[in-house]
Structure 1
């Protein structure tokens, strides 16, 4: 087997595990909400911890991009990522819960930066586009995580044992992947953040990932709650499961779609699917219409972030790793404002009406993608 194929498998393993861990957390948010007897607003406060912790990591991640190749920080973060889930499963103390969520979020930032840095470097070894497929594997890992959670709920296995199994799988997979990940890939230039007027190219990519992150992160954090509280389904992971299925399908096909219709039209298509899906979920809060709506949202939101990270490699001002680190900060701001704001709006109005926030963000992808592609012309 060629070395580049082994490297692709190892990196795919990391993407899979990252998605698996994240969906294991997201699908258990209703469990945490019940265990700690949290209101929607209080759950919003807990979710606010994640982007705050990730923002605190901005200078650290920038320093790591400039100082290290991607392999060691990536795998070390994967190990702490899994360990934080174990703590989430066993704690009954709210302070420890907040600390575990903070570590989980910080590690997720580091993982995303260095995984995507590796994809851009590895893409250069292949003639066909492969970046979208990595994000498809992330979604597949997420799908596996929520399917595993659904099975756990069906079998009435404890939350603690569920998190122990997820942590064990993560440790074994991350250590196995370590030996074939790319090494010595630190960029020699473009590793310092330059203060002053924002680079327009990075700025528009950042705005796009902001809106996409509000939609994607909000769906991760609130889809299970929506199905439990609004659709009133006992197996509340079904909506999240459906969303993840169609995210995975979209990401695996996104490279071919982009090659066929172009990246700009792909943004328009994604925005349209998000808007139609959210509208369906809000107007028809019943089992089958909601599943259809979640399917459309998954199809729409899936391709946006991979397209943005792909474009980050075209930056003339920054290295791929630094561009991803800066752009990721905009995405974190989307997560900072999105899911907690949904909680606050749900407390004031209702969870159905709070989902209008996602519709607005879907619409905004169109004008800002137009501005981005003017810079290419």
Structure 2
């Protein structure tokens, strides 16, 4: 029998390679932009392929998790994601790039729903909160991916070889780790979306995740461009690296912070970090102020989605897998609007002005989270 700690280790490993894969792609976006001679608006349009692919994968991932044990779509999703990452590296025109990015996003959505379903199931076997640490390993994987990208950029390694190496690494880990994933986690109830008036509990969480996704998606896709074009930094991965580093630190600390201050205050602290960080980066556009600003944004955004997923898993209307799938719809919509919106605003005005949208999203987090917790309290008082 496999111990809970071993399950936790290999789930953490999957989060790690997920972050590694995503940051590998995102950190080389400036390389792709330059290679294909794209302007900001054109890049923004191409980046639409990510959320569109995710939206296509969303109902399929929800169905797979409700139909099978989550480890099956998780493993298949990771394997196909590795292959689609390699395809991005070999894309030499916008058409093949869009196809490869769409496949990458589609498979990302499949394993994302599956791996988060596994974590919610495993959480029930632990007294202390452990969900934040899983997302922390995603960020650690992201840092490792950026670190490798920075190293390979310094040695002028081609994107084709870079992405192929990462793809092989992912495939080996995925095949070996399958045996250590949780079995029998398919829920027998709450697996169908009820077409009725939106459930306020899920709706408020969805809006919170939507706002966070605009910030995360925009920072993932545009931080390198910001350092390259606004700050004129030759090694453009610095901004993305500091963002991911503080995101990782925040996620490993999030369980402790939540235990100390509670989720309502943690959401507010997150919002303050996002607003102050992005304000510093765009008002004083120098290398070190941007580094400090991006670190604050990373620290602020990090705990929002793990907290929201954990709260969604406590829904009385839907199973954990279906609740996360619904919440992910809002997240994907944020990813859909965020990066292209930044691209179009940057093309119309400039990149500094476009980053104001992150501050607006950070401010909106405060009233929306307050509405959610008031609703949660009303549900508890009604049951009581």
* Cα distance between partner residues in 2 of 1:32 and 1:157: 14
Tell me if structure 1 keeps the 8 A contact 2:231–2:286: yes
* Cα distance between partner residues in 2 of 1:278 and 1:59: 34
Offset at residue 62 of structure 1 (A): 2.4
Extract unaligned runs of 5+ from structure 1: none
For these two proteins, the number of residue pairs brought into alignment is 377
Tell me if structure 1 keeps the 8 A contact 2:65–2:73: no
Q: What are the equivalent positions in structure 2 for 1:297-312 lying under 5 Å apart? A: 297-312=297-312
1:188 corresponds in structure 2 to 188
Does 1:346 pair with 2:339?
no
Most deviating of 84-93 and 297-306? 84-93
Tell me if structure 1 keeps the 8 A contact 2:58–2:110: no
Tell me if structure 1 keeps the 8 A contact 2:58–2:329: yes
Using the size of structure 1 for normalisation, the TM-score is 0.99
2:18 corresponds in structure 1 to 18
1:265 corresponds in structure 2 to 265
Tell me if structure 1 keeps the 8 A contact 2:60–2:110: no
* Cα distance between partner residues in 2 of 1:59 and 1:124: 26
Tell me if structure 1 keeps the 8 A contact 2:91–2:100: no
1:176 corresponds in structure 2 to 176
Q: Secondary structure in 1 aligned to 2:203?
A: helix
Using the size of structure 2 for normalisation, the TM-score is 0.97
* Cα distance between partner residues in 1 of 2:275 and 2:351: 17
* Cα distance between partner residues in 1 of 2:209 and 2:66: 23
2:357 corresponds in structure 1 to 357
Q: What are the equivalent positions in structure 2 for 1:57-206 lying under 5 Å apart? A: 57-206=57-206
* Cα distance between partner residues in 2 of 1:56 and 1:72: 19
* Cα distance between partner residues in 1 of 2:206 and 2:178: 30
Q: Secondary structure in 2 aligned to 1:57?
A: helix
* Cα distance between partner residues in 1 of 2:252 and 2:157: 32
Offset at residue 172 of structure 1 (A): 0.9
* Cα distance between partner residues in 1 of 2:100 and 2:5: 35
* Cα distance between partner residues in 1 of 2:57 and 2:85: 19
* Cα distance between partner residues in 2 of 1:145 and 1:243: 13
Tell me if structure 1 keeps the 8 A contact 2:224–2:240: yes
Extract unaligned runs of 5+ from structure 2: 378-384
Structure 1 segments of 4+ aligned residues over 2 angstroms from their partners: none
Does 1:317 pair with 2:317?
yes
Q: Secondary structure in 1 aligned to 2:180?
A: coil
Q: Secondary structure in 1 aligned to 2:353?
A: helix
Offset at residue 97 of structure 1 (A): 1.0
* Cα distance between partner residues in 1 of 2:29 and 2:236: 11
Deviations 1:164-187 (A, max 9, x none): 111011101111211101111100
* Cα distance between partner residues in 1 of 2:218 and 2:111: 20
2:381 corresponds in structure 1 to none
Deviations 1:70-93 (A, max 9, x none): 001001110111111111111213
* Cα distance between partner residues in 1 of 2:27 and 2:158: 14
Tell me if structure 1 keeps the 8 A contact 2:16–2:142: yes
1:42 corresponds in structure 2 to 42
2:3 corresponds in structure 1 to 3
1:285 corresponds in structure 2 to 285
* Cα distance between partner residues in 1 of 2:352 and 2:111: 33
Offset at residue 2 of structure 1 (A): 5.9
Does 1:239 pair with 2:228?
no
Tell me if structure 1 keeps the 8 A contact 2:274–2:297: yes
1:276 corresponds in structure 2 to 276
Tell me if structure 1 keeps the 8 A contact 2:113–2:324: yes
* Cα distance between partner residues in 2 of 1:2 and 1:63: 27
Offset at residue 61 of structure 1 (A): 2.0
Offset at residue 94 of structure 1 (A): 2.2
Offset at residue 57 of structure 1 (A): 2.1
Tell me if structure 1 keeps the 8 A contact 2:136–2:247: yes
Tell me if structure 2 keeps the 8 A contact 1:26–1:221: yes
* Cα distance between partner residues in 1 of 2:264 and 2:59: 32
* Cα distance between partner residues in 2 of 1:2 and 1:30: 43
Tell me if structure 2 keeps the 8 A contact 1:208–1:365: yes
